[in-house]
Amino acid sequence: MSFRLNIKYFLVHTIGFTNKEAIRAIESRKLIVNGQVIQENSEFNETWEIFYDGVLLKPNTPYTYIAFYKPRGIETTHNAEIADNLTTVFTFEKHLGFAGRLDKESEGLLILSNDGKYIQKLSSPKYEKEKEYVVTVNKPISDEFLQLMSEGVDIMICKTLPCYIEKLSEFEFKIILTEGKNRQIRRMCRALGYLVAQLIRTRIGEVHLDNLKPGEFREFLPE
């Protein structure tokens, strides 16, 4: 989810101004953002306070950081029109973006925040943030499977990058990725003749799932 917002976008899409009204507001010198008079369209920080013509349009909003255990069967979206969306199991008064989208049948750590730069750093491949998973498959894990997974697997859309993988039990392994292709682990396993029975994300960067249970969350401060 992108947080590269600007003042005009906020006025139109959040406050309900028309494009012309937003432009007039910016040019009127009556728009005060974070204590400064705004005279041109500029980048907008989601936490800033906004006044227009003496009326408070948006109060100052502190940054919030939440580690949430997304249950299996829940779609990673706020869209209330989609069945089994996040709002059916998680409600919070602030508008939060999320890092680390999980497909519906996967579960585990999802990070939510109104700090766009933090979300971007966790989500963008260029930062190579580690994402750790515990995966259960439908048949015994072979040494060949571990070797091929670690070297990278052709999943049709691309060959995945080399990664760390560790066998935990006969049917379970831990894997650490620095990329996030759509349904990547499931595709990797399928390409090697395995099916995923359960997939749990346990870590994103320095943030761990720890002892959270499905549907539970905790607030934290980034390191």
Sign of the dihedral through C-alpha 139, 140, 142, 148: positive
Residues 6 or more apart whose Cβ sits within 8 Å of residue 100: 109, 110, 111, 122, 123, 131, 180, 201, 204
Q: Among 122, 132, 128, which Cα is nearest to 173's?
A: 132
The CA-atom distances, in angstroms, between 85 and each of 88, 99, 104 are: 6, 16, 9
Residue 104: Cβ within 10 Å count: 15
Exposure on the CB side of residue 210, measured as CA atoms within 13 A:
11
Give the active site residues.
103
d(CA 137, CA 175): 13
